Structure formats: C-alpha cells, structure tokens
Amino acid sequence: MQHLRYPEDVPEKECATTLGFFDGVHLGHQTILHALKKTGLPTVVMTFRVPPKYILSSTLPPPLLTSFEEKLKKLASHEIDYVYELPATHAFFSLRHSTFLEKICAHVPIKTLILGRGASFGKERAGTEEEIKKIASAQGFVVCYLPLLMHEGKIVSSTRIRSLVEKNSLIEAKTLLKIRTREKG
C-alpha cells in the first residue's frame, strides 16, 4: 500500500475510490473496502489525518478509536493499493460539496466511488447521496452507496463503538472492530 500526500503522487489509472475518516476501520468500513477490491480496479481510500470535527467544532471532540498510523496498518491489511491523505484544514473542510468533489476529481481518476448509505460531505454536509449522484453523472463516474452494516439490530459505526468503550462493553466493541476475513471473488 502506498500512502500518498500530494496530488501528483496519485496514480493515473482509473480507480475504485472511497472517502471518509475510517476511525477504527470497523466492520462497516471493511464492507466498503471489500466492495472496492471486488471492482478489480486499483483501490484508493481518501482520508484525513484528523477528523473534520477536530478542525471545525469549538466543542471538545470525541476520542479517536485508532491513531492515523494504526488506521494505515489496518487499511494495508485489506490490501488497499493507495491511501490518499487529504488536507485536514479549515479551508478544505469548508468547501462546498461540489467544489470539494471537483478538487478530488482533478487529481484522482475515479471510475467508481463507493460510500456507505448516509455518507455526506462538504460544507454543512450538503453533499448528500442525491447531490453526489448528480455530480458523478456529470463527471462521468459511477457512485455506489452500500447499505449500512447492522449488528444485533444496530448500525455499526465509530460513534457506536466509542459509546461501547465508554460503557466498558469492550467485548462488543472488539467484535465490531475485528478484521473480517476477506471473501474470495
């Protein structure tokens, strides 16, 4: 896996891409990573060193489940080809969703963008599924929203795992963070 920090380092081949913070690289994230690999294209995970909340919010942000270095190791274990570290700046996080995606598309040759249902980004998280699908159509790539992964009737999320850790429900938290064995094909 290559960790990329500069736009000129991004491969020129069309790729399967996802975007998010991926705190913990939990089972829900792993479902997205598996879908990326199934495309047969080079895979790119676009992420940040720090979450947008740490930059944009004046309130005390929640603790992270994993450090950036741990996240990179977990992503590498899923045989992701490239991790592109996007700038974690107030200016970048404040971009309108259309500008945000245009900047990314100017450097990353996206053929397929895979996200989890409900994922949104850009200023005030206005880049909803409907909006991103419009941009994808105009930019000439496919966007696919995967259903959210459920475990025991509840959505698997970093927020849920943090809550479990706070409640000292460590066995359940560990279950949601375990590395899923890769399925063939």
pLDDT at position 11 over 60: yes
Q: What is the pLDDT of residues 117-162, one digit of tens each?
A: 999 888 878 889 999 999 999 999 999 999 999 999 999 999 999 9
Going by C-alpha positions, the residue among 70, 72, 74 that lies closest to residue 179 is 74
pLDDT number for residue 9: 85
pLDDT at position 185 over 80: no
Whole-Å CA distances, 22 to 72, 121, 135, 185: 10, 14, 23, 24
* Ramachandran category for residue 38: left, alpha or beta (phi over 0 → left; psi -120 to 50 → alpha): alpha
Question: Quick one: tokens of 172?
Answer: 């359940």
Which residues 6+ apart lie within 8 Å of 59 measured at CB?
none
| In the chain, alpha helices (H) | 27-38, 52-56, 68-77, 90-93, 97-107, 129-139, 158-166, 170-177
Confidence of residue 93 (pLDDT cuts 50, 70, 90): confident
Going by C-alpha positions, the residue among 36, 121, 25 that lies closest to residue 69 is 25
Q: What is the pLDDT of residues 22-74, one digit of tens each?
A: 999 999 999 999 999 999 999 999 999 988 888 888 787 788 999 999 999 99
Going by C-alpha positions, the residue among 10, 4, 111 that lies closest to residue 47 is 4
pLDDT number for residue 10: 81
Whole-Å CA distances, 66 to 9, 26, 109, 123: 25, 10, 29, 25
Threshold 0.85, pTM exceeds: yes
pLDDT at position 183 over 70: no
pLDDT at position 184 over 50: no
pLDDT number for residue 181: 52
